[in-house]
Amino acid sequence: SSFSPTPPALPPPDPPLPRRVPCDNEPRGRDTESGRFGRRGRPQAAGEGDVDLRLGTPDSRPRCRPCVRGRGAEFYEHKIHQVFFRMVDQYGPIVQIKMPNWSRGVLVTRPEDKETVLRATKDNPLRKALPSLKKVRDEAMENFFDKNGGLLTEQGDKWWRVRRGVQTPMMRRKNVEAYLPEVDAITRQFMDRMASFQEELGEMPEDFLQELYKWALESVSVVALSRRLGCLDPALAPDSEPLKIIQIVGDLFRTLNACEFTGPLWRMYPTPTFKKLERMHQELLEMALTNIRATEASLKEALEKPGAEERELTLMEQLLLRPELSHKDVVTLILDMIFAGIDTTSHTMAFALYLLAKNPEAQRKLQQEVDQVLKDNPETLTPAHVAKLSYTKAVVKESLRFFPVAMGFLRELSSDVVLSGYHIPKGASVLMLNYEDIQDDPAFPRPREFLPERWLRGSELAASHAFALLPFGAGTRMCVGRRLAEQEMYVFLARVMQRYTVSYNYGDMDSTMQLILKPSQPLKFSFSERRA
Ligand code: HEM
């Protein structure tokens, strides 16, 4: 099937785009006009029968947005999001793309198109991302996974069997709130570390992101591993378990990013990058297995004790007892939680701190709210406190609007749909970008301003469409860690803003691609005590 617009029901295609005026600092050798990517800066010739990759309502005005710097593979892997965003700026809200590892597809940005896709795929949400991770689980580590790769890589019935089993335990409010005291204690301990950096260096160290990783890993492991790892110990040895996990997860992101966005050689033979992926995955799996054995032992012991029925089970214990989930399913989920639970929340908090530092008015409002809600100065936050943190929650949403850690999310169409007036056939992949066409089609009033109040009930600055911001994806396949992530982030911001005012005196922040988006600048924040 072809992607060409379908007359007569739909409008005819727009005339071809005029050649775009290149900017001075644009990497050469890439055929941006057709949207095709050349490798390592070499121009790529149009293949026989290649379709024109332009779709949508192209804007013929040549625009010169901040350009992608760097050349070749490095540019390609780390800045791919900017290429996508720029294509949207150039061609409009729907652009056809052809990537080495993806089935042919389109990028979309309009909330209406996202809604159409999500409605059309709601009964079978196929997200065929991370093919290299799937290959590792299905082939290189078949012995363990037995062709059941878990939530991140499976589709259809195999995905649904696991998702059905984990949905309630992971998303139930009570289960998430059970971790609130520990998440709060972890954040407070983290702030003591911040205080000592501030005292010692007068600001946060260059590698403050590494510190945020420790906070995030400690927070996710109380859920995924049912124990504290001791990540915040100031004397952590370089070969300690937490630092090894952080290193492996970072390497996994980098390696997966390389496999996803460069040539598909790894599909044909085990390239060094693919072997690295396999090795790191094996290490993470061994760590998950050791921990799950400990959880199982404590569960067995707990169940044998008198009065066992009264004890609240931990999330992992609940999962281990669910008949529809095998032991391996739970181990795989632990792997995925550790993998998805470190860089996501820490990068979002890094971006939020930056945005607060740059928007003192928003920071002041956040502090006022926290002072009001926490006026009893509680030793431990309760769900009632968190429920009242409306502005704090709005800051998290607005930060994800400015710097979404997920560039977008994919769905494969199981039926034909019409998007922005174009007929898109069944089987195509649609990448729903977390990117707004601020210039021509803004979904938010005053889109360039950081205005958390737009997320408060009844705000005139609210989005024009319910699907305007989907940083966690949407529908039945939405991020399963969303509630846990949100709780962690609300607690983090509330506690930090209760104690400190943040400032940042270095260059402008941007994001760089490492499968998810990451802060481009060292996070040398300065924190001043509010009640010094
Ligand atoms: C700022 C934090 C986070 C963001 C922005 C985020 C974003 C996302 C997005 C966009 C998806 C794809 C959803 C879709 O296809 O509709 C996803 C899936 C997923 N996330 Fe998150 N995530 C975050 C934190 C977490 C955490 C803390 C965990 C684990 C505890 C987690 C575990 C997962 C898993 C297992 C999936 C796959 C779900 C499935 O396919 O059924 N995420 N996340």
Q: Which of 337, 472, 476, 477 to mutate to test the pocket of ligand 1 (most atoms within 8 A of CB)?
A: 472
Residue 440's identity, in one-letter code, is D
- Residue ranges of the annotated binding site for heme are 479
> What is the mean pLDDT of each successive set of 10 residues along the chain, which is 532 residues long?
37 34 31 28 26 31 31 54 84 85 85 96 93 88 85 95 95 95 97 96 96 97 90 92 92 86 81 90 88 80 75 86 91 93 97 97 98 93 97 98 94 95 93 83 90 96 94 96 98 98 94 90 95 72
Which residue in this structure is represented by tokens 């995925």? 336
Which atom of ligand 1 is nearest to 410's Cα?
A: 15
Which atom of ligand 1 is nearest to 223's Cα?
A: 30
Which 3 state secondary structure label does DSSP give 111?
A: helix
Beta carbon of 477 within 6 Å of any ligand 1 atom: yes
Residues written for the chain:
532
User: Which alpha helices (H) appear in 122-179, and where do they start and end?
Assistant: 131-135, 142-145, 156-171, 173-177
- How many Å lie between the centroid of ligand 1 and the Cα of residue 21? 39
Q: Is the distance from CB of 30 to CB of 76 less than 8 angstroms? A: no
Integer Cα distance of 132 and 258 in angstroms: 10
Which residue in this structure is represented by tokens 């210039």? 439
Q: Is the distance from CB of 61 to CB of 47 less than 8 angstroms? A: no
- How many Å lie between the centroid of ligand 1 and the Cα of residue 441? 27
Contacts of 369 (CB under 8 A, 6+ apart): 389, 390, 391, 392
Rg (CA), the chain: 24
- Residue ranges of the annotated binding site are 479
Residue 361's identity, in one-letter code, is E
CA 140 from chain center: how many Å?
26
Q: Check residue 197 and give its pLDDT.
A: 97
pTM value surpassing 0.80: yes
Please tell me the residue having the least CA distance from ligand 1 atom 23.
344
Q: Is the distance from CB of 299 to CB of 159 less than 8 angstroms? A: no
Q: Check residue 471 and give its pLDDT.
A: 97
Per-residue tokens: 413: 């169409």
- How many Å lie between the centroid of ligand 1 and the Cα of residue 199? 36
Q: Which of 479, 493, 515, 518 to mutate to test the pocket of ligand 1 (most atoms within 8 A of CB)?
A: 479
Beta carbon of 249 within 6 Å of any ligand 1 atom: no
Which atom of ligand 1 is nearest to 162's Cα?
A: 41
- How many Å lie between the centroid of ligand 1 and the Cα of residue 485? 9
Question: What is the 8-class DSSP label of residue 325?
Answer: S
Beta carbon of 472 within 6 Å of any ligand 1 atom: yes
| ipTM score of complex | 0.99
Q: Is beta strand 105-108 parallel, antiparallel or unpaired with respect to 429-433? A: parallel
- How many Å lie between the centroid of ligand 1 and the Cα of residue 132? 18
Which residue in this structure is represented by tokens 């998430």? 176
Contacts of 103 (CB under 8 A, 6+ apart): 128, 412, 427, 428, 429
Burial of 507 (0-12, 13-18, 19+ CB in 10 A): exposed
Contacts of 523 (CB under 8 A, 6+ apart): 204, 208, 209, 212, 350, 353, 354
- How many Å lie between the centroid of ligand 1 and the Cα of residue 515? 13
Integer Cα distance of 300 and 211 in angstroms: 35
Integer Cα distance of 98 and 53 in angstroms: 8
Q: Give me the DSSP letters along 437-485.
A: -TTT--SSSSTTS--GGGGSTT-TT--SSTTS--TT--GGGS-TTHHHH
Beta carbon of 151 within 6 Å of any ligand 1 atom: yes
- How many Å lie between the centroid of ligand 1 and the Cα of residue 479? 3
Beta carbon of 82 within 6 Å of any ligand 1 atom: no
Beta carbon of 183 within 6 Å of any ligand 1 atom: no
Per-residue tokens: 60: 């013929």
- How many Å lie between the centroid of ligand 1 and the Cα of residue 195? 31
Which atom of ligand 1 is nearest to 405's Cα?
A: 5
Q: Is the distance from CB of 162 to CB of 329 less than 8 angstroms? A: yes
Beta carbon of 478 within 6 Å of any ligand 1 atom: yes
Which 3 state secondary structure label does DSSP give 500?
A: strand
Integer Cα distance of 303 and 292 in angstroms: 16
